[in-house]
Chains A and B, each alone.
Chain A
Amino acid sequence: MNLLSLAAPSLQTLSYLVVAFVSVAIAISFSRRIATSQRVLRCRIFSSLTDLRVLRLCTGTLVLTIFLALLGLEVGEYPIPRFEAIKTALWSRGGEFDFVVNSLRFPRVLAALLAGFCLAISGALFQSLLGNPLVSPDVIGINTGAALCAVFVLTVGADLSVLPWAAFVGAVLTAIVIYSLAWKQGVNGSRLVLIGIGINALLASGITYLMVKYPIERVVAAARWQVGSLFGSSWSDVRILALGVAIITPLALFLVPKLRLLQLGDELAIGLGSRVEMDRMAIIVVASAYAAIAVAVIGPLGFVALLVPHMVRLIVGSLTGGVLLLTGLVGALFLLGCDLVAQQLFAPTTLPVGVVTAALGGPYFLFILVRYNRAL
């Protein structure tokens, strides 16, 4: 039995986990108490309104993320002293730890951070655009659409470099199909969720079909497109993610003010000078692109895009550029944390990170469902 062969979680890991949970709870309750205050930055043609609270939370999250990233370099089957790990990762080459740090752990940590960033922002854009916390790319099938195209590329044996593009096309097409099916004199969030869940099931069965149809040696490479895993993340994965983030993030920040108008309803948005259909399409494409690059690298990982943006919104309120970045940072932190748990909890057996996000996200999903339906 597979389950029985799992080692019991080590006491040390468990106690770390408990400490982590408690500190997250304390951090959340503390962050709610920070008073909002705003500063304006102005010089010549530039001006911007900054919420100091969001800025502080961003800094705090960044510090935690760096700490966790260091932890990710150190721990594992082959523990490495902290300073050695930093040294090897940043400047020292060819040393004793070079292979473990620079080929295995460092790319994996970076991939987790970047993918978490992408998924969380994608979720924030979708949720804010349709005003429904359940409209996130993993629930409505955007991730699965991207994964279907990625699996297709893998199983037919096409060039691997087209994989991110295939995922992008899959994500955008899925988004457009869902959106047009849900269109009925405007789009209602709940209706879109139901249609999305149906589409999600359809696409998932498509993936299963491909896995069954094609020869096993090709299917093995596609196995991570079942749950989402960071195992075997390489520098080329990190490059794809980093490039994607660098290109899409400025676009997303540019679209935030337009999204804030669309939240007021189409009529008001038009009255305030928004080109409604164009802006909405642009936001959907950008949000899908975020989901697509994450899926292209780590597979259709569930619940990050659902849980993180909703949690951040509960703490800091409605979407602004700063809140969007904070959501991304929290997503990065969350996914990295989940991956460490997945690697360490039953060490030496490692779990796919998708199992951990699902274990945390499932109850949260129910919480949103219950809460949201009551609010209706």
Chain B
Amino acid sequence: MVNLETSDVVLSYGSKRVVDDLDFIVPEGKITAIIGPNGSGKSTCLRGLARVLRPAEGVITLNGRDIHAQPTKAVAKQIGLLPQGPTTPSGVTVLDLVRRGRYPHQRLFDQWSTEDEVAVGNALILTGLEDDLDQYVDHLSGGQRQRAWIAMALAQETDLMLLDEPTTHLDIAHQVEVLDLLRDLNRTEGRTVVMVLHDINQGCRYADHVVAMNDGRIANQGAPEEVVNSQMMQEVFGLAAVVISDPVTGTPLCVPDVVDKGAGREA
């Protein structure tokens, strides 16, 4: 299992502080959704957790030790990251891409062990890509391409997966497909998932734990039912919204309470 914690972490680009005083313990074995308006520091927070961004202040610990003091390859066996809109190198096939996810497990002469083969096979089957091995990734449709990237992250076989908006640029059916896949992974294999989501309703539907961020700080966190309510929507997003119960799952469902757009524009 992995225990990832941040204490008093400040993340900044140059002199610009983007995330302030982040105190966060990643809930083990659960799905966590980070929500918040644009520019609230969601993605930056995820980049910090994934050690892509070194904290300006504070410390991020993995299993009790500073994550930046540990060998990065060892960390990569425990934490996987799928950034938003990754660049696909041209001429790379699905199989080739997914294999690259095995890098942290490979050693100098042990470049393709039986474990590597099994992990790649499993990742391809879980994402339903086993028939598209020789397709070029940059020729795939958006949904399939995203599945290929997720397959690569799966092949890494980490207990904790960090995903930055895994559903952007996908139509609603593919969004649901990707999120279902992540939930299955969580339920059947016990993997911890932390993802940044734009869609609050999807966050409520799939996550066990919701973190609402605003202005670089955690405004509120907890179970979806505790966090997502009309007061939070007003404070964090500045949007008047009615929160009802999702007719299918019973989780919170936000409906913006702005009917007369003309009136909104004048004000």
Contacts and interface: CB of A to CB of B under 8 A. Distances in A.
Contacts of A36: 134
A254 B108 contact: yes
A275 interface: yes
Contact of B112 (A49, A265, A272): A49
Contacts of B86: 264-265, 267-268
Contacts, number: 96
Contacts of A131: 87, 89-90
Nearest to B149: A268
B75 interface: yes
B45 interface: no
Contacts of B81: 267-268, 270-271
A40 interface: yes
A270 B50 contact: yes
A261 to B, nearest CB: 6
A264 B91 contact: no
Chain B interface size, under 10 / 10 to 19 / 20 to 34 / 35 or more: 35 or more
A115 to B, nearest CB: 27
Interface in B205-260: none
A18 B243 CA distance: 77
Interface stretch (B15-23, B95-103, B182-190): B95-103
A373 interface: no
Contacts of B92: 263, 317-318
Contact of A271 (B80, B91, B96, B99): B80
B98 to A, nearest CB: 12
Contacts of A30: none
Interface in B71-85: 72-77, 79-83
Contacts of B162: 271
Nearest to A375: B90
Contact of A317 (B96, B99, B108): B96
A247 interface: no
Interface string A259-288: 011011111101111110000000000000
Contacts of A265: 83, 86-87
A273 B100 CA distance: 11
A9 interface: no
Interface of B: 47, 50-52, 72-77, 79-83, 86-87, 89-93, 96, 99-101, 103-104, 106-114, 117, 134, 156, 162
Q: Which 10 A-B pairs have CB atoms at the shortest separation, nearest pair first?
A: A273-B76, A271-B81, A273-B73, A49-B112, A273-B104, A267-B83, A263-B89, A46-B109, A265-B87, A47-B112
Given A264-B89, A271-B80, 8 more contacts: A40-B117, A45-B107, A254-B108, A266-B52, A268-B82, A273-B75, A274-B103, A275-B72
8 contacts: A264-B100, A268-B81, A270-B52, A270-B72, A271-B79, A271-B83, A272-B100, A273-B75
